Amino acid sequence: MYKDELLIKFENRSAVVGLIGLGYVGLPLAVEFGRAGFQVIGVDVDQRKVDALNAGRSYIPDVKSEDVETLHSAGRLLATIDYAELKTADAVSICVPTPLRKTRDPDMSYVISAAEKVAEIAHPGFLIVLESTTYPGTTEEILQPPLEAKGFTIGKDVFLAFSPERIDPGNTHYGVRNTPKVVGGATAACTEAAIALYATAIERVVPVSSMRAAEMVKLLENTFRAVNIGLVNEMALMCDKLDVDVWEVIEAAGTKPYGFMKFTPGPGIGGHCIPIDPLYLSWKLKALNYTARFIEVADQVNMSMPHHVVDLIQNALNEDGKALKGARILILGVSYKKDIDDLRESPALDVMAALVVNKAEVSYHDPYVPAVGLNGVTLKSIPLLPKALALADCAVIITDHSTFDWEMISQHARLIVDTRNALRNVQNGRSRVVRL
């Protein structure tokens, strides 16, 4: 009975949809549900985000402020820090962070807190979907027990599912609406309810047999990328020792029309997904007395890349008769990938921290990141002018933003360490360039 009523509410858009966590995942999803015609209530612990949204302003580049303003003015998007506002919701998607602790094991505190608060406001005919990336079994082990403790029967009174987020910040081709959505419920009725909700805002919904299967889908996607990035990063290290140009090798291998997928090396891996998700799987399997060898080896290689970049800088300076200590190092780009402002797990931070430890004088330029906290000190992005490049003993390309003028950079910097092969098409540069 409750399921049928819920499906009708989704179909006629009379349901109220809640979002917990209004970051890179939650806000784009909230906007799509609002566009689909739902009243959306978003909860976040950050009062600044709540105030911005209620003033019609977006703080995420992928979400336009005018879209937020339109939805808010129409009464279809409300932000709050108060979980009690979700008592009127018929469905809620949980999009809270799932970071790693310093010990590199999962920090589930945000999910646990959300699960407890959702259980408090749950009511018959309520759908709860976890979107936060985590280890297989999380939804069943953390979200289900508090609901059952309240006397609910999963699949009859309330409905529970997992649907992995697939947000790719800065991607102009694929967003929430046109990226297929995987859904797995605790029961068949739960899966049906979750499909009905997401199908209102997303072009294709892909059901799987269980919540664990849905949780595993996300981990496979990002473990695939982490392992292949680790492989190509190690290939870069091997090519360096063999005096072979790894970029030439990759380009030539990429001409094969089958059986090869092109990955490129870099200064490390960043973002919330690729550096973290595989370790959730590895951690879970350790409890089952199994070692995820590919994951752990890839993690070791990828984690070593910032140190390799520092070695490249030091060796390049040595060739110019300069020491790393006291050298003026200008970092170009600090976000974890091009054309976004996201610093999460960015390898640039590790490179900069290591340079500071070695007593180098570090500055940076990033058009998307005005300030960076580094070892308790706030650095501000400096203007990228010819004089700044000329004064630097070494410029280091960490993030190859599309806005960078590579010709100008290569004309005025004396020495460049290029970790992204960004200067591959520059013809008349005057800099000495050391590539990864």
Is pTM, for the whole model, over 0.85? yes
Residue 396 sits at φ, ψ, to 5 deg, of -125, 115
For residue 257, the model assigns a pLDDT of 95
Q: Is 273 a catalytic residue?
A: yes
How far apart (Å, rounded) are the C-alpha atoms in residues 230 and 266? 10
pLDDT of residue 102: 79
Exposure of 429 in the CB half-sphere (CA atoms within 13 A)? 20
Instruction: Give the pairing of strands 371-374 and 377-380.
Output: antiparallel
Alpha carbons 181 and 204: distance in angstroms, whole number: 6
Question: Backbone dihedral region of 239: left (phi > 0), alpha (psi from -120 to 50 degrees) or beta?
Answer: alpha
The residue annotated as part of the active site, out of 95, 190, 239, 273, is: 273
Three-state SS at 47: helix
Q: How many alpha carbons fall within 13 Å on the CB side of residue 304?
A: 13
Tokens standing for residue 223: 């473990």
Residue 271, pLDDT score: 86
Q: Any idea how long the chain is? A: 436
Say if CB 31 and CB 77 are below 8 A apart. Answer: yes
pLDDT (0 to 100) of residue 375: 83
Give 363's contacts (C-beta < 8 A, 6+ positions apart).
Answer: 328, 329, 330, 331, 379, 382, 388, 392
Structure tokens at 211: 């919540």
Domains of the chain: 2-209 (3.40.50.720), 277-435 (3.40.50.720)
Which strand (E) or helix (H) includes residue 295? helix 293-319
Write down the pLDDT at residue 45: 95
Residues 6 or more apart whose Cβ sits within 8 Å of residue 290: none
pLDDT tens digit at each of 436 positions of the chain: 899 999 999 999 999 999 999 999 999 999 999 999 999 999 999 999 999 999 999 999 899 999 999 999 999 999 999 999 999 999 999 999 998 887 888 899 999 999 999 999 999 999 999 999 999 999 999 999 999 999 999 999 999 999 999 999 889 999 999 999 999 999 999 999 999 999 999 999 999 999 999 999 999 999 999 999 999 999 999 999 999 999 999 999 999 999 999 999 999 999 888 888 899 899 999 989 999 999 999 999 999 999 999 999 999 999 999 999 999 999 999 999 999 999 999 999 999 999 999 999 999 999 999 999 988 889 999 999 999 999 999 999 999 999 999 999 999 999 999 999 999 999 888 899 999 9
How far apart (Å, rounded) are the C-alpha atoms in residues 296 and 104?
11
Q: Are 299 and 305 in contact (CB under 8 A)?
A: no
CB 79 within 8 A of CB 49: yes
Eight-state DSSP code of residue 61: T
pLDDT at 105: 84
